[in-house]
Structures are given as C-alpha cells and as structure tokens.
Amino acid sequence: MSRRGLTILEMVVGISLLSLVVIFVASLLPSSVGSLRRSEALQSATMYGMGLIEDARQNPPGTPFDAQVPASGASLHAVRQVLPAGNGLVDVQVTVAYRNDAPPVILATRLLYTPTPTPSPTP
C-alpha cells in the first residue's frame, strides 16, 4: 500500500468516526441543556415554595395567604393552601408548577399558631 492511500483511508475512517461521534454528542446536547434547565427550574421552584412556607411560618394567622400567590418569575405558578388541622395547627401546602412537562413541586408542613390569649373563666 502506498503512503498516500493509507492516508486517504485514514482520513475517510477518521472523518467517519468523527462525524458519528459529533452527531452523537450533538444529539446529547439538547437533552443535557434541557436537563440543566429543568434542574434550574426545579431548584427555583423549590426555593420559591420554601419561601412561601417560611412566609406563612413568620406571619400571624389571619394573613390571607390561602389565595393564589403570584409568582416572581413568569415560568412559576404557585398556589398556597392553608388547611386547619385543629389545636392551633394549620397545614400549609404549597404547589409550584414550573414546567408543563414536569410534575409540580409540592411542599407541605404543619405550623403551630398559638391563639390569642383570652381571660380564663372564673371557676
């Protein structure tokens, strides 16, 4: 085999392999980018949900936070619900939808609100 032929064959094989790999890697990029974006959105949604729960934890009862909460970002859609659990307890459930193709983030906790003291009955 001549030196040139070998070089051409090498080139053909190399380019073919390189093309295949480039195509394969390129096909991974969209899903990787999608995963990264989804991960970022998931973190944002989690952070936002935690913020809503902490907001409920810090505010006294009576705060009308059972309504839909406007999200800070256009891609987030959050709903916070307050469900009475008795004995001064309330369950706070936050649902944050962050992508159409992903299940929403659901965070829930139980808070203890001490009611306003009232004069004790005279026995």
Partner 1 sequence: MLELGGKLRPRGNVLAAVLMITALMLVVGLALASLSVFNLNLSARWLDSQQAYQLAQAAVAQVASDLQNDPTLLNTTIADPVSSQSLATRYPAGANLLASGASHFPGTVTTWWRPAATRPQFSVDNLGGGVPVDGWRGRNRVPPNTLDLVLQVSVGGRSTLYEAFMRRRWPYALTTCGKVALVGNMMDGKPTPNPSDITGKVLSLSGGSLVPTGDSPGASPTTWLDRIYVPTGLYDQISTQGMHPDSPQVLIGGASVELDVRGTRKDITSGGNRVDGRVDLSDPGSKVVVVPAPSPPPNAHTGGQRILGYGFGQGMLARLVKACDAPAYTNGVDLGAGDTTPIDWGPPLDWQTTLLLGGAPPARGMPPPRFFFIRNGLSLPPPDSKDNTFVIGCNAGNTVLGMGRYSGGKLTMYTSPDDLPQPTPSPGGTPVPTASLPPVKVSLNHCTLEVRGNLDLGSSAQLEGDGASLIVRGSLLLNGGTLNAGNHGMVIWCENLLCNASGHYQGLIVARRSAVFFNYRADPDAPDMTIRGALVAGQDSVSVCRVPINDKNEIGDVTSMTPMHGLLLWGTGISYDPRYLANIDRFGDVELVALDPLP
* Minimum CB distance to partner 1 smaller for 100 or for 118: 118
Options 4, 5, 17, 52; binder of partner 1; rule CB under 8 A: 17
Residue 67 binds partner 1 (CB under 8 A): no
Q: Report d(CA 69, CA 59) in Å as an integer.
A: 15
Q: In this structure, what token pair is assigned to residue 79?
A: 């709903």
DSSP notation for 75-101: T-EEEEEEEEEETTEEEEEEEEE--TT
* Minimum CB distance to partner 1 smaller for 69 or for 93: 93
Q: In this structure, what token pair is assigned to residue 76?
A: 């987030």
CA-wise closest residue to 79 among 97, 60, 98, 91: 97
Residues in contact with partner 1 by CB under 8 A are 3, 6-7, 10-11, 13-15, 17-18, 21-22, 24-25, 28-29, 31-36, 38-40, 42-43, 46, 49-50, 53, 60-62, 83, 85-89, 91, 93, 105-120, 122-123
